[in-house]
Structure 1
């Protein structure tokens, strides 16, 4: 607490300083002023908790100071010290919340009691303000989560609009006369999760940030609201209830903002116009279908309107995936890497001749692939993904290579468990995966697994067709790339985190492996 004593008589100020036990209450900052004008300047700068003030002073008197305090520092506690019992002097103290009115000459006991009451009340009110502040912070944190859940339930048909109409109007300025709506949705999984890399894979944080950007664009018009959606396959949903004809323009503005700030653009599915609120659920489903049925080969726009014809022709599109599935099943069962590679190449060539490939079709394909492989090896963890280029467009070439690598890895790991040498190599590789950041020599590995250095090298190469040192280097460089792209750590720190004590040596290894220096890789 800070204290201010305001009186044009020096001996009164000294008396207040002398009698009040400041140390008992931990008060060290005590300021003085000779009139209300000086007091106001000190109050603005120091914000004292307690003000002792005289009533009759030059320039600005006590009554004017009390009135000013009431309007500009309402939490400050005031104690009036005056030599007058005239009601005209007492009245301001009553009107503007003075705690006590003490008459001169000062009675030390009364002064101390008045000061301690003021100290106690200020501390109690301070604790209450802090409690309310903490409560408000919690509410502000929870409020977006609450509305995310409510609006997710509303668009999915699990909440009643009439029960929410009043609160929606109060919270978002939703017009009670709104009778049309459109819904747009997007998924952070589209576009190769490039934005997620910027947020270290934190979907909730990335969704929160993107929703805020969307709302900054929509807020001036109070035409809609973007929220984190709790429904499967959708991370952000945008409900537009006013100016539905402008939603496409707003989506373009959002993507411009994403591009400017994060270097990415999002894929949006957009519904047709529906009656509000009756058509809200249908609009949400249309937006989801517009996103999942978008043509991945179409690279001329990020906003995908719902089209009934596209959904109706889904079975025809699936034929593009199903036709080569049987040859791939046979290739998988054979366990022959070359045969699998040829089959995937033929499949990719077959798909490249199509004019339409949808995300929904690929997702169904991946489920079929997963079931085929799990039928062969139920214990394997299988996960297939789409592949995107630097601009966030789907890459059939990338998907082909990714699929071949995934199938080869899974088949190789299936073979690796068949012999003692294979199991040993798997254990070594798992150890490297967990400890790549430590100093790692062939002798160290040999001693850990009780095998000679020569045997370790030979067996690892026989089983994996790769040198152990090459695998460790590739692993470390892969981890270094992630750190370069997603952190601001210094090169020396990154080198140490991936197992290189010498920054210069790390840079040489990195450039040899990637063709770029670490600094160039970070810039790119």
Structure 2
């Protein structure tokens, strides 16, 4: 909080400032003035929460100063002090809504009591304002949701319009879907800023938060103001460089048409997935994203995955180009499709997890794709995944089909603590002795050692990531216990897992 102390007597003014520990009352800044004019100037600039002023001052007395203060700093709370107890002054102080009136000579305990009373009153007012603001925001949110979903009775919608100051008739309406960039400020901060833009331009608006990064704004305007909507949206993009906006169809049927306008705004926003560089999308200029995935896509993908893996990257790249040209497949459909592709690649070659820095388990690949803002982000991720897949295929290519099957089985089941040569041999319908001899002959190592090395390499990757606890690393990599894992890790690296993490984290 801030306080301004105004008194023409230097001894009194400076003595009060020195005598009170203002921090006890949450007051961090103390300003002082020698007369009414200086006090008014300081109050105008600094907007103090509390003004402690003498009534009798030169150039501008306390009452005159207080009258001007009500205009210059209307939220400031007044504390009058004076040795003059004339009835007229008291009446003036009461009329000006002074919090208290303190008689000179000032008694510090009385002044402290008056300051505490004022601070308490200010905090209560701020709390009430905050609660009222939250309630109003919730009412606006409720109204926006009812209009978008076509729920709620007419009387309830009318009541909410009145509370929110949103016109219920004689207006045109548009829905706008607004998406924030990753890492933006909190929703409430951005919502307030965006509302301020529309308010400053005279457009009533309400908003609904659809998720952590998406707002749906409904604005009302006169017919002659329609052209200003698009220009104001463009101005918002200049003011907020991380926003993307989809503008919905015009509702000419009153509030009943808001739902359709909101739906078209969300559909328009979907096209930022294909053209993120544009940032402003209008429903009348975009295709409807309602098409289905063509039936032969998964057959094509499976062919290149298993028969021609060296051509898989080129196919994924060309398929992304095809999707961008068409731009009719919804974002969810594209993400779901590529997540399926990624899962299939990891099922075929789970060894990708060891060398691929972005993912630690199959679910991570799905998460990366579902969090992508654009198809270009998905393309880059999938191409990197394709390269990792092709490297795994290339590494296994010198070996026989049987040895490759052993390697693939280990890559898929390394997390099972009871994985051993007998289990693998049973899976391949071979004797353990024959399988072990064949594997060592081709690779130069035993199956047991290969399992141990595989687990250790993956464990190193997980240990380097500080998000994983050591017992979790042990469990994921197929070690029977965290203590056994630590023992094996130490024997292989001459470091404990904790020491290795410290060393590799820089």
Shorter-chain-normalised TM-score: which range? 0.5 to 0.7
Within a 5 Å distance, the mapping from 1:307-386 to structure 2 comes to 310=288, 314-315=291-292, 318-319=293-294, 322-329=295-302, 339-340=308-309, 342-350=311-319, 352-353=321-322, 355-358=325-328, 360=330, 361-366=333-338, 368-369=340-341, 380-381=362-363, 382-383=365-366, 385=369
Pick from 224, 230, 233 the counterpart of residue 210 of structure 2.
Answer: 230
Structure-2 change in CA distance of 1:386 and 1:251 (3 Å):
farther
SS at match of 2:326: coil
Q: 2:461 maps to what in 1?
A: 429
Tell me whether 144-153 or 273-282 shows the greater mean CA deviation.
144-153
Aligned-residue offset at 1:434: 2.7
Tell me the TM-score normalised to structure 2 length: 0.57
Q: 1:85 maps to what in 2?
A: none
CA contact (8 A) 2:55 2:80 kept: no
Verify: 1:78 aligned to 2:51, yes or no. Answer: no
SS at match of 2:210: coil
Tell me the TM-score normalised to structure 1 length: 0.55
Q: 1:93 maps to what in 2?
A: 90
Q: 1:40 maps to what in 2?
A: 36
Aligned-residue offset at 1:286: 2.1
Within a 5 Å distance, the mapping from 1:85-124 to structure 2 comes to 89-97=86-94, 120-124=113-117
C-alpha RMSD of matched pairs (Å): 5.5
Q: What are the Cα deviations for residues 494-519 of structure 1, in whole angstroms up to 9, with x where unaligned?
A: xx9951xxxxxxxxxxxxxxxxxxxx
Structure 1, unaligned runs of 5 or more: 8-12, 28-36, 83-88, 103-110, 189-194, 437-444, 457-471, 477-495, 500-524
Aligned-residue offset at 1:21: 12
Within a 5 Å distance, the mapping from 1:2-41 to structure 2 comes to 39-40=35-36
Structure-2 change in CA distance of 1:167 and 1:407 (3 Å):
farther
Tell me whether 401-410 or 70-79 shows the greater mean CA deviation.
401-410
Within a 5 Å distance, the mapping from 1:75-224 to structure 2 comes to 75-81=78-84, 89-97=86-94, 120-137=113-130, 140=133, 144=137, 147-148=140-141, 150-159=143-152, 162-165=155-158, 168=161, 171=164, 174-188=166-180, 195-196=181-182, 199=183, 205=185, 207-208=187-188, 211=191, 214-224=194-204
Aligned-residue offset at 1:401: 0.9
Q: What are the Cα deviations for residues 454-487 of structure 1, in whole angstroms up to 9, with x where unaligned?
A: x99xxxxxxxxxxxxxxx9xx99xxxxxxxxxxx
Q: What are the Cα deviations for residues 234-288 of structure 1, in whole angstroms up to 9, with x where unaligned?
A: 7122213213443333332223334xxx4x5625253343422111222222222
Within a 5 Å distance, the mapping from 1:293-304 to structure 2 comes to 296=274, 302-304=280-282
Q: 2:263 maps to what in 1?
A: 285
Aligned-residue offset at 1:136: 3.1
Q: 1:491 maps to what in 2?
A: none
CA contact (8 A) 1:269 1:303 kept: yes
> Across the two proteins, how many residue pairs are aligned to each other?
388
Q: What are the Cα deviations for residues 197-225 of structure 1, in whole angstroms up to 9, with x where unaligned?
A: xx2xx6xx365565455445433332253
CA contact (8 A) 1:374 1:380 kept: yes
Aligned-residue offset at 1:230: 2.3
Structure 2, unaligned runs of 5 or more: 23-32, 70-75, 351-360, 394-407, 415-450, 469-484
How many Å separate the matches in 2 of 1:255 and 1:49? 41
